[in-house]
Amino acid sequence: MSYPPNYGQQDPYQQQGYGQPYGYAPQQPSPTKTNGLAVASLVLGLTGFITCGFTSLLAIVFGHVSLGQIKRDRTDGHGMALAGVVLGWILTSLWILYWVLVMAGAIAGVGTTALSTPTSDSSSSAVQGSGKHTVVFEAIGSDGATSALNITGSANYRITQDNGVPLPYRKELKVDELRHFYFWVQNASDKGTVTCRIIIDGKVAREETEDGPYGVCRVTADTP
C-alpha cells in the first residue's frame, strides 16, 4: 500500500542551511598628508625671482628640513621639496654672481676715477665755459640694454661720472684744446648691446660696441 507524499512538512533528514555571514566593508586607507614645509619651500623658491634672492635661502633651508621629515614620516611632497631646493640654489647663485659683478664694476669705476684725477686745476677751464670745441659722450642701448650701471667720461683728464642712468645717454662738453678723451660705459643688464662713441665738433672720433651680460664699452680718442 503506497502513501501519498507528505506535503507541507519538512523532511526531518533535510539539513537546514545556514544564513550568509555578515559582510564587512573594506577599510579605506587614510589619505597621505602633504608636508607643509615642502609647499613652503616651493613657494619661496618661486618668489625668489622677485625678491632679489632673499627668499631663495629660506627655500633651501625649508626644502632640506622637509626632505628629512618626508623620509621619516612617509608624507607626500618630496617633489615639491626637491624643486624648492633646486630653485633656491640656482637663484641664490645667480644673485650672488650679479652682486659680485656689480661690485666689480663699482670698484673699476672708482679705480678709473682715481687714476685719471687731474694733477692741477688748469684743465677745469677746458671743460667749463665757452670752449671753441664741442665734445659729446654718447651711449645707446639695444636688445634689452636699457640702463647703464656706471658711465665715466674724461675730457682732457677732467672726470665726469654718472651711475644708474637710463639709455640712451648724451653729455656735451666745451673744451679749448683737443688732447685726450676717454669714455667708459657698463651695461646694467644681463642682456643687450651697448654702443658708446666720442663725437668731436660734430664728427664721430671713436665708436665701439659691446654685448653680453654687464658688458663694458670703452673708447679712447688720444688724437681725434
Give the tens place of pLDDT for each residue, 84-121: 889 889 888 888 888 788 777 666 655 544 444 443 33
Q: Is residue 16 part of a domain?
A: no
Residue range 72-89: average pLDDT? 87
Cell of 54: 632673499
What is the CA angle 178-184-190, rounded to 5? 160
Q: The domain containing residue 195 runs over which residues? A: 121-221
Do the Cβ atoms of 141 and 165 come closer than 8 Å?
Answer: no
* Structural domains in the chain (count): 2
Which pLDDT tens digit goes with each residue over 121-156? 333 333 444 678 888 999 999 888 899 988 988 888
Are residues 75 and 155 located together in one domain of the fold?
A: no
Query: Cβ-count burial of 98 within 10 angstroms (0-12 exposed, 13-18 middle, 19+ buried)?
Result: middle
9 is a domain residue = no
Q: In the block, which residue shows the cell 692741477? A: 120
| pLDDT score recorded for residue 12 | 53
Task: Tell me what pLDDT residue 128 has.
Answer: 47
pTM value is 0.42
